[in-house]
Structure 1
């Protein structure tokens, strides 16, 4: 008995010693923590000696924005390392395991730091332009990435979260949305003369978001927001409205936000057609053009062939009605087709619309749209004396013209989201999903497939037309070149479809996120315009490989795409028969 106790004590002592030896999980975690702290300290050093590099990385003790990104990544890496070491109060960072999340965020910090150092060398032309602080940052950030990679996998099923009081959950939701607003604003407000900052921002945000997903934090937050739906909706609305009030550069970047909202509204309409009903529409941007041209013709433009000026609400309804009629006219003879045939027909409709708008110039056709020159000088909107084209002071903050249109698009986005959610949860919404999954089976169950698809086509077209009415007033001109299948500037049909697929088909937030990424990245990285489609194709290939259900997927799509994935190791429950068999075997052995 004493020998057994001695062996047990020796084993425990050996295990205790192993946990602190470098190369063991505990030793590797301490290496991650030390490297993260060194990386954070390096952000306060000078990384270059000259101010010729954008951002001024020459000051000690005052990190530039590029150095702040490294600092944030280092702090997040250190937090995950402390969580893996079992520090009380940080267990919520890794409910599904910390190893993958720790490695991903450490790798993201290293990639961000290395990119900054390489940018300095390329921009200034020599390796000697780096100060020792940059070398310290690169080496120190590489240590956590290498150490975290060697950690054993600790993936597990997330344990049931401890119940929190309602006020605590509401506070967490508010803090998360406020942090999200800060992160989004930081990315949009990056100076266009510093593309390195925006690229580094994308690297760090991408890796950090992936780490939060892998660790299970986003799943916990999703459950929390589902329990407090009204608070979540209110917080998201307040966050969106607050955006123009915290802009430091006036309307410089608010225009980007307005175009993102227009793009997202049209993508949500397409999501009804593609995401819910499963209809591949490659000419959807034409419905946006119908709404824009209709609004331009009836809003009092100087070159309008009709010479009328409707108030905005009437112009918006007219644009929606015109797009809806076009949707029915195009859908009625074509929706009996399926798959590639329907896609080809809709692609043809999009090109026919663009060419027709260019030919209605009084020479090739009637004088309606002024041909390739389009309809310029569309007047600014005006509600009860409130001119959207003029700056106004609201709550002590001066809002420019684009901020006015931004708030209008927030209202329209709310309307579109309500329509999408109500339609998707209705009887016809369930019919759309049935048609998408198996049209033959749905028809056999009594669903009128043609009528259901026509309703989806018409509703999606109407929502696109509504967004088009605002786009016409924001741009103050409408030209046929804005409504092509694929081009360098979104929205176009290819980018709209990509936004739905990238964000997640059949969801509300998915197309919004996809639209924001696909519009913001080209707008901020204009120097890559010639390689935009190449990068776009590479991104889609990577997405289809690693996350085919989209960035924000519904439960059905997630289960369909990952039903064969390996599940975390979970102890199997022993059946009574197995226990009896083991008992019989033991008796036989005895």
Structure 2
């Protein structure tokens, strides 16, 4: 069994960014962290117009809670360094993680102070407490930059300053007992649920951005300290438990909400994530760039709406949900075959252009099937409205229900239904990816000519990828039609300000991690929440997303949750001396 705890070998030390004695640097960092946490209890501004009311002394409010948490993390990292005397732990050093935490505290606090000045009209709106908070984070960072560092790797300036050490040392330790590891997995899932619940419950955009800053730097620090690697190893050993636990935690989510607004976000995130996972079959496994994938979601949604008894449907039938969902999935799969059969002979940019054209053709066609420009099927721009709520085994999805003293509203009911659909899609994706067909897709993605030479029928397997991806999107679309009460052509475009659209879906897959199960789901959740929470950006949303994509492609090209294979592909020049880069290493990771 893979080791979980380790005492690594040490690396040669180099001069810190700021020359300070190690003990003094840790003491300064600890002092700065404590002052940062304490400053959250002071008033930061004179005006209560800034969201969260930061005028109160004695109790943190809004973004001050994030500064408080960041300050405690910095103080904890410095205290750990003092207690350990700078000795390496796990697969890294506490000092290296402390530098990142100090940067996170600085970014969170100064983001708040700048936001106050920008929204209230200048720095004059800051009180002494706000200035104390800003100075405290600078003190913490100065102390952290004086901490001893291991030898840094070659790379850009950011890597040379922030990456400690340049190599991960070998691991030599015994594994924990199985029950303890199971308990740790459960604890991790509880923490993940708490973080997601807090993030989705943020009531204004500034708080959500601050939350993202803290989480991003926290995860970075975990990876730097080596704990992140141990967490990944732990989950990889208990994948079944982690997967089941993740769905159980997601099912609990609606019970933690006091209103249906967050459940609305939750069910839309699941629909977006399920669609992204279907696109992951085409892009992540088979390596085919599809720029019109959202059309398959629309095909499933329109098909389900037509056969579900909607008052404005041109087909006066009402299938039960399971039949409507299967019909939507089947018609979407057929559409995938019809698109793929004549177009998959082309490759690369030409295939991308063809799929982009298909997406636009679908939107134009459904707009013209209004009884005037064409047959009356989709009602044109008006769409199909008044789709009735589902009634499954006597359970009316449109009504609130009391379960265990907790009221689940309409969107909470659909959240649980979509969670079941998501489980089916995850199962289909996982089984397909790990099958002979999945290995053929990966071979085509890596080198289609070599795959063909080995006897793989590239056209047949690519067509199968198109069909399966379209089927999964159609299944998600059948639920989306009932959730939204209606289906209109406006959302099914290549790019727009709101998801789902093809550009956002593709970004969710690439940023989340192509070829993985959790990656597209995480990417879809992040992108949907960004769109829902950052309404204060208004017309600048696409600019913000563009900057986010540039940063991800520069510093995390393999995605948030990447397979080991893609990590090695993107960081082959940074091969670690104590790790093997080759077929054996890939086979151990299941890549």
Same fold (TM over 0.5): yes
Equivalent residue for 2:347? 338
Question: Of the candidates 214, 219, 229, which is equivalent to residue 209 of structure 1?
Answer: 219
Is 2:97 the partner of 1:101? yes
Give the total of aligned pairs.
Answer: 548
Task: Give the one of 466, 478, 481 matched to 1:472.
Answer: 481
CA shift digits 1:370-429 (9 cap, x unpaired): 011111111111112211111111111000100001001111111111111100000010
1:190-339 alignment, distance < 5 Å: 190-191=202-203, 194-248=204-258, 250-339=259-348
1:187 and 2:193 correspond: no
Shift of 1:162: 4.3
Change (3 A) 1:559 1:59: same
| CA–CA separation in structure 2 for the residues paired with 1:458 and 1:229 | 28
- Structure 2 match to 1:389: 398
Partner Cα separation in structure 1 for residue 46 and residue 577 of structure 2: 50
What's the offset of the Cα at 1:566? 6.3
- Counterpart of 1:368 in structure 2 is 377
Q: Which residue is equivalent to 2:180?
A: 168
Matched with 1:115 is 111
Note the C-alpha offset of 1:568: 6.8
CA distance in 1, matches of 2:236, 2:20: 42
**1:581 is matched with which residue?**
none
Contact 1:73/1:108 (<8 A) preserved: yes
Q: 2:534 touches 2:541 (CA, 8 Å); kept in 1? A: no
Can you list the C-alpha shifts for 1:499-547, whole angstroms capped at 9, x where unaligned? 0000010001110111011110010111213112211121111111111
Q: In 2, Cα distance between the equivalents of 1:275 and 1:485? A: 19
1:90 shift after superposition: 11
| Structure 2 residue aligned with 1:125 | 121
- Change beyond 3 A, Cα 1:469–1:161: farther
> What is the aligned partner in structure 2 of residue 46 from structure 1?
43
Aligned to 1:580: none
Whether 1:428 aligns to 2:424 is no
> Hey, what's the Cα distance between the residues in 2 that align with 1:212 and 1:534?
30
| Higher gyration radius (CA) | 1
Q: Which residue of 2 aligns with 1:489?
A: 498
The equivalent of 2:67 in structure 1 is 70
- Superposed, 1:539-558 pairs within 5 Å as 539-558=548-567
| Alignment correspondent of 1:349 | 358
Shift of 1:51: 2.4
Deviation at 1:186, TM superposition (A): 0.8
Deviates more, 1:153-162 or 1:37-46: 153-162
SS of structure 2 residue aligned to 1:253: helix
CA contact (8 A) 1:522 1:529 kept: no
Q: How many angstroms apart in 1 are the aligned matches of 2:131 and 2:88?
A: 33
SS in 1 for 2:552: helix
CA distance in 2, matches of 1:229, 1:343: 35
Q: Which runs of 5+ in 1 are unaligned?
A: 1-17, 571-590
Q: Using the TM superposition, give the Cα deviation of residue 435 of structure 1 relative to its aligned residue in structure 2, in angstroms.
A: 0.3
Say if 1:174 and 1:235, in contact at 8 Å, map to a contact too: yes
Per the alignment, residue 6 of structure 2 pairs with none
User: Superposition RMSD on alpha carbons, in Å?
Assistant: 2.0
Q: Which residue does 2:158 correspond to in 1?
A: none
- Deviation of 1:136 after TM superposition, in Å, equals 1.0
Structure 1: how far apart are the matches of 2:381 and 2:554?
41
Deviation string 1:44-95 (CA, Å, 9 cap, x unpaired) is 2222233232212222322113111011111111222223234499976x63
1:15-66 Cα deviation digits (max 9, x unpaired): xxx99x9812222111111110111111122222332322122223221131
Q: TM-score, normalised by structure 1?
A: 0.90
Matching residue of 2:545: 536
Which of residues 165, 168, 172 is equivalent to 1:157? 168
1:177 matched to 2:174? The reply is no
* Alpha-carbon distance, 1:223 to partner: 1.0
Q: Do the aligned residues in 2 keep the contact of 1:82 with 1:90 (CA within 8 Å)? A: no
- Distance in 1, matches of 2:470 and 2:75, equals 49
Q: Secondary structure at the match of 2:574?
A: coil
Distance 1:423 1:440, change over 3 A: same
Query: What is the CA–CA distance in structure 2 between the aligned matches of 1:438 and 1:564, rounded to whole Å?
Result: 21
Deviation per CA, 1:276-305: give whole Å up to 9, x if none.
000010100000000000001000011111
